[in-house]
Homo-oligomer: A and B are copies of this chain.
């Protein structure tokens, strides 16, 4: 695994100690997968801190990363943290997005040095995926594709949106993808007009429009994909037109997602297509987001993003058009930016009538 390399890269960027409290960031740096840990990173090394439940797991992880030692805490957490930061430290950084205000106050009470708020330091490293991460993301995307390939079979037994969502989860699990922390969004007919529809009893028989937004987890890495199809006869001409426009926008976004591209220009590439078709006002969300240990993470593909795409970034491209009370279409792919272009990790057909 690449944890030693990740830790070295972070240490090289630090001017003073950084208390990492995000469990996702700690997992990225050390492989720790328990529910409670802290990582003090210093320019010269680091200390992983956890409690008795996870100390055995943490011993193995710390032993595999040069420069990282291990401390156990119980009720004396603040004392152990301050000890690892260094009692004589004049000032140190804390991940201000990932500690509660109450925690920051307790830490300042315990520390002699000044506690400074820091944001996005580890997240900036996480934007660029290494080979292990790309491999896990590919397998997660493939499990999503496998589930889409089983759609005909799932529709034979699923009666409701909720049934179909569970069926997609089962299919992904069969392909090696663990259930994600969020349920599939399955929306039929007018329900598809709500971008965050909560799947319920919506009847699949002769559904017409069917939107599915779902994903899974492989080795901690997420997939995220959306397809919108038509079930049954009598395709609605307006939805066919919208589907074609959204697909064109999705392809334009992918074509723009190149190394060196500004993320807000990728967003604009999608938006321009929908504007040309008269649907811009119905594209009510941003174009996409990074995917990794979190299903939504940097870089952000949206209007006011300051991110610039680089080789190793994995982002979604997911334009959508939603007509309230009528229906909606979204098409979402995961895209790996490469040195000389990109590689679309989601491989399922995007046709409205895939059968």
Contacts and interface: CB of A to CB of B under 8 A. Distances in A.
25 contacts: A35-B196, A52-B284, A53-B195, A53-B196, A94-B101, A96-B100, A96-B101, A96-B102, A96-B105, A97-B100, A97-B101, A98-B100, A99-B100, A99-B101, A100-B100, A100-B101, A101-B101, A101-B103, A101-B104, A101-B117, A102-B117, A102-B119, A104-B104, A105-B117, A181-B181
Interface string A83-122: 0000000000010111111111100000000000101000
For the complex of A and B, the 9 pairs showing the least CB-CB separation, nearest first, are: A96-B102, A101-B104, A96-B101, A97-B102, A101-B101, A99-B101, A97-B100, A53-B196, A101-B117
Contacts of A284: 52
Contacts of A105: 96, 117
A37 to B, nearest CB: 13
Interface centre among A52, A97, A102, A119 (most CB of B within 10 A): A102
Interface in A39-61: 52-53
* Secondary structure dominating the interface of A: loop
A94 B101 CA distance: 9
Can you tell how many copies of this chain the complex includes? Answer: 2
Interface string A114-142: 00010100000000000000000000000
A284 B105 CA distance: 29
A326 B103 CA distance: 38
Interface string A189-213: 0000001100000000000000000
Nearest to A99: B101
A104 B105 CA distance: 11
Contacts of A98: 100
Given A101-B101, A101-B104, 13 more contacts: A35-B196, A53-B196, A96-B102, A97-B100, A97-B101, A97-B102, A99-B100, A100-B101, A101-B103, A102-B117, A104-B104, A105-B117, A181-B181
A216 to B, nearest CB: 14
Nearest to A33: B198
Interface centre among A97, A98, A101, A104 (most CB of B within 10 A): A101
A119 B101 CA distance: 11
Contacts of A52: 284
Contacts of A35: 196
Contacts of A96: 100-102, 105
Contacts of A97: 100-102
A99 B119 CA distance: 15
